[in-house]
Every structure is written in structure tokens, then in C-alpha cells.
């Protein structure tokens, strides 16, 4: 029993008082603060769970269609006859994507370079 008491005291901070085990007051205060933070986190997750589920519900069909399109595109690009047709069909969509994303990337690059110039004279 003495060995068990020594192990629990050394490892976990428990103190033996007769037949019952008692926890020091400092340990109780720390555990109560940690439990309060954990409780708040659990409540927040409980309230956010329906929205997380809705996000999964909405994105799964889009991810599935994207995977199907990716696999079909890979097979079509491997076919020598269908490759030029696929590239001709995809060209307008690729150009629209570049025209849409290009200015945003350019503004981000200018802000990054300008910020570096301001911070490192």
C-alpha cells in the first residue's frame, strides 16, 4: 500500500488520507479551470455541429462530381483522339478562370512586395 501511495503521490499529486483518496486543493482548482474551458469548448462544438453537418451535406455531392470529372478528364486526356477536342472545350473555362483569379493574385503580390518594402527599408 505504501508503494502505491508513493507512486500516486509522485506521479499524480494524490495524497492518501486513511482509506479514502483525497486530491490537494491546488490540483482541484487547476482541474476546475481546465474543466470550465473544456465545457465551453464542448458547448461551442455542440452548437456548431448542425452547421458543420450542413457544410458536409452540401460539399459531398460537389466533391463527388469533381472526382468523376477528374477521372473522366484523365481518361479522355490519355486518348489521343479525344485530347484535342477536350482541350478545345476546356480552353474558354481556363481563360475565364485566369481572367477572374489573375487580378486578385496580382493585387496580393503587389501588396506583399509593397509591405516588404515598407517594413524593410
Q: Does 104 have pLDDT greater than 90?
A: yes
Residue 15 lies in a domain: no
Answer yes or no: is 46 within a domain: no
Rounded Cα distance, 42 and 31, in Å: 16
Provide the number of structural domains found in the chain: 1
* Domain ranges, residue 117: 83-121
117 in any annotated domain: yes
- 82 contact partners, CB below 8 Å, separation of at least 6: 76
Residue 11 in domain: no
The grid cell for 19 is 482509506
**Residue 111 in domain:** yes
User: In this predicted structure, what is the pLDDT of residue 114?
Assistant: 94
What are 31-71's pLDDT values in tens digits?
666 666 778 888 889 999 999 999 999 999 999 999 999 99
Which residues pair with residue 17 across a beta bridge?
Answer: 20
- State the pTM of this model: 0.42
Residue 66 lies in a domain: no
More confident residue, 43 or 17: 43
3: in domain: no
Which residues, listed in sequence order, are joined to residue 16 by a DSSP beta bridge? 21
- Mean per-residue pLDDT, 17-27: 55
Residue 36 lies in a domain: no
Cα–Cα distance between 34 and 93 in angstroms, integer? 52
Amino acid at each position: 500500500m505504501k508503494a502505491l501511495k508513493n507512486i500516486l503521490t509522485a506521479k499524480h499529486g494524490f495524497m492518501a488520507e486513511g482509506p479514502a483518496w483525497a486530491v490537494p486543493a491546488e490540483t482541484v482548482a487547476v482541474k476546475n479551470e481546465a474543466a470550465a474551458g473544456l465545457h465551453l469548448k464542448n458547448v461551442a462544438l455542440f452548437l456548431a455541429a448542425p452547421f458543420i453537418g450542413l457544410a458536409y451535406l452540401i460539399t459531398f455531392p460537389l466533391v463527388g462530381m469533381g472526382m468523376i470529372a477528374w477521372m473522366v478528364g484523365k481518361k479522355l486526356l490519355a486518348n489521343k483522339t479525344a485530347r484535342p477536342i477536350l482541350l478545345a472545350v476546356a480552353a474558354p473555362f481556363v481563360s475565364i478562370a485566369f481572367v477572374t483569379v489573375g487580378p486578385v493574385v496580382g493585387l496580393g503580390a503587389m501588396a506583399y512586395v509593397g509591405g516588404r518594402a515598407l517594413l524593410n527599408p
